Structure 1
Amino acid sequence: MTVPHDKMRAVVAPAGAALELALIDRAVAGPGQVLIKIAYAGINRPDLIQRMGAYPPPPGAPQTMGLECSGEIVAIGPGVTRWKPGDLVCALLPGGGYADYAWADEGCCMAIPDGLSLLEAAALPETVLTVWANVFERAALQPGEHFLVHGGASGIGTTAIQMAKAHGAKVYATAGGAQKAALCTTLGADVAIDYQTQSFVEIIKADGGVDVVLDMVGGPYVQQNLDCLKLDGRCVQIAFLQGPQVQLNLMALMLKRLTLTGSTLRARTVAEKSRLARAVETHVWPWVAGGQVRPLIDSVFELEDADAAQAKMQANAHAGKIMLKVAG
């Protein structure tokens, strides 16, 4: 595909059709923004939800998908002070990552952790910031506490296991099938539970319960999460793959002084996301550089194969991160 200078390749989603590669106007860095020539971009489940029309981009964001990337800064907008052309970064994006170029807010860019490739770095922003914001800030996980993450073999799950373990927590993880449960163990989970054959509630309650739960399943899991929390336990919802409407017995909320909360990342202000990025660089990047936290790459697809990449995620046929190679 010949690409004019003022255009770029980008993945678009025609209504009711497969994703396809098209030429669109090249992204431009505005005030406080940088323009990144993308090496790799991450596939995330919110991309699938956006494709279905249920997770619209925030005002001013690109309408195309892609929430994280790595690459080289090739231009800076007015007011940018930290970065310069030629810098290699990974970045949290408001959208537009499935393309040759994307703009990112200056504060949402992060230095590449020592020892990481551009491929590995592109797998970090969305998952690491989500786990930090929800597990470490919102739920205030403490060293020595017991932590449960559902979907332990997902991009979020593999990241949460490693970060919680590096922080000194005892980690429980659920996953679908013995092979994925075994993967959770290799990543540091103290107890890996195959939800297809085992009851996580029974296993955790027999072990005294957990202090923090990170859940993206929703549906019947919400009640079960409350049932296995300890006194003063905290459950954080980041998605509802089995539905947000549930019937609950909330007596335990009072009797055990529980907290049931949740958040999203994309809708936060630029200032808030920038603050989270600085916290991650301070607290998590040393774990990454030290080998305690490493992104698990499941597979890499070419940009034009984005539809197949999303189909693999939709089928839950992956463990870790699915990535797109753009110019890596």
Structure 2
Amino acid sequence: MANDMMQAVIAEDGQPLKVGEVARPGLKPGEVLVKVAASGLNRADLVQRRGAYPPPPGASPIMGLEISGTVVETGEGVSRFKTGDRVAALLAGGGYAEYAAVDEGSLFPVPDGMDMVKAACFPEALMTVWANVFDRVGFKSGEAFLCHGGTSGIGVMALQMVKLAGASKIHATAGSEEKCALARELGADQAINYKSEDFETLVKEAGGVDVTLDMVGGDYIQKNISVSRPDGRIVNIAYMNGFTAEVNFAPVLMKRLTLAATTLRARPVAEKRRIRDAVERDFWPQVVSGKIRPVLEQAFPVAEAEAAQALMAKGGHSGKIVLVW
């Protein structure tokens, strides 16, 4: 491409985010260049901005882990996607930019009828939920499920996915009555307002759960153990209330529990392709048909990236916040 510069959101220490000019990424074999239509925000972006979650080696230092857009160039060895294809993508970095280089194994095909802003709501959440709930701890039809942060970007997908996968009972925690209503709409049988109710008591009264998806950590660690049924599995994708806790492991032993934790960002491209393939097989058809729906809190023009991140940091939102190019 003739012009080798592009617009991107730039973060300088202590300064509000601004849009500036940076070099356009080059393509490695197996990658495509996407002209970005929309960039999804994730909590990881805020952590990266604070300096606590650097991009993996070789990844763009620009924030942003998911995008939607159109393929404008293909690298050597790309076989499936071609120029002009509409796509949504998971990235290791570089999403808050006008163009992004992506391995073709991290792309989903976006059908013509799907709005690009909505398409940007899916890749990271679908792949995170599949990699954790279905792959790592093997959720099966007929099991009971607990999702903390039920209306977070991850939570809104997790509730819909386990519902489609045949969960016997779905519990969700959320921080307001409005969010609890949304969680029920998305498939939760029981939505618990953690600000006024104790999920440990209520989930135990309902018979406990087989699989728990948690991003809270801290004092939730012991409570998750408490509400688990024998052979239950707990998987953490974050520890927003802290990485440390005093834990009594006796019930882990007595109930034969599994405690797991994973991240997605630093995994090799072949591993991401495996996850993408599974999501595309098991859940993307439901995205295309509208059975799995995006939950969009707000779309901001890119120039308002600072306001978009401020809304995410405040934590009152449901579903996704998106930047539009």
Partner of 1:65: 63
Within 2, Cα distance between the matches of 1:75 and 1:291? 29
Partner of 1:111: 109
Change (3 A) 1:251 1:115: farther
Partner of 1:184: 183
User: Could you tell me which amino acid in structure 2 is paired with residue 305 of structure 1?
Assistant: E
Within 1, Cα distance between the matches of 2:222 and 2:270? 34
Within 2, Cα distance between the matches of 1:86 and 1:293? 25
Give the SS at the match of 2:232.
strand
Identity, in percent, stands at 51
Within 2, Cα distance between the matches of 1:297 and 1:273? 25
Give the SS at the match of 2:235.
strand
Q: Is the 8 A contact 2:86 2:111 kept in 1?
A: no
Within 1, Cα distance between the matches of 2:163 and 2:149? 16
Cα deviation code 1:39-66 (max 9, x no counterpart): 0110000001100111110111100101
Partner of 1:28: 26
Aligned partner (choices 132, 135, 152) of residue 134 of structure 1:
132
Within 2, Cα distance between the matches of 1:114 and 1:9? 26
Q: Is the 8 A contact 2:59 2:92 kept in 1?
A: yes
Cα deviation code 1:63-108 (max 9, x no counterpart): 0101000110000111111111111111111111101000001111
Q: Is the 8 A contact 2:151 2:318 kept in 1?
A: yes
Q: Which runs of 5+ in 1 are unaligned?
A: none
Runs of 4+ in 1 over 3 A off after TM superposition: none
Matched, 1:90 2:92: no
1:167-206 equivalences in 2 (<5 Å): 167-169=165-167, 170-206=169-205
TM-score, length-scaled by structure 2:
0.97
User: Could you tell me which amino acid in structure 1 is paired with residue 48 of structure 2?
Assistant: Q
Partner of 1:299: 298
Q: Is the 8 A contact 1:114 1:289 kept in 2?
A: no
User: Could you tell me which amino acid in structure 1 is paired with residue 66 of structure 2?
Assistant: E
Partner of 1:124: 122
Give the SS at the match of 1:160.
helix
Change (3 A) 1:195 1:9: same
Shift of 1:28: 2.1
User: Could you tell me which amino acid in structure 1 is paired with residue 20 of structure 2?
Assistant: A
Cα deviation code 1:220-268 (max 9, x no counterpart): 0011000000000000000010110111000011100000011000011
Give the SS at the match of 2:8.
strand
Q: Is the 8 A contact 1:113 1:288 kept in 2?
A: no
Partner of 2:241: 242
Within 2, Cα distance between the matches of 1:213 and 1:115? 35
Partner of 1:233: 232
Within 1, Cα distance between the matches of 2:20 and 2:171? 43
Partner of 1:55: 53
Shift of 1:289: 2.7
Q: Is the 8 A contact 1:204 1:228 kept in 2?
A: yes
1:138-157 equivalences in 2 (<5 Å): 138-157=136-155
Q: Is the 8 A contact 1:152 1:173 kept in 2?
A: yes
Partner of 1:267: 266
Within 2, Cα distance between the matches of 1:291 and 1:84? 25
Partner of 1:321: 320
Give the SS at the match of 2:105.
helix
Matched, 1:5 2:28: no
Cα deviation code 1:183-228 (max 9, x no counterpart): 1111111100000110101001011100000000010001100000
Count of aligned pairs: 323
Give the SS at the match of 1:203.
helix
Within 1, Cα distance between the matches of 2:180 and 2:154? 15
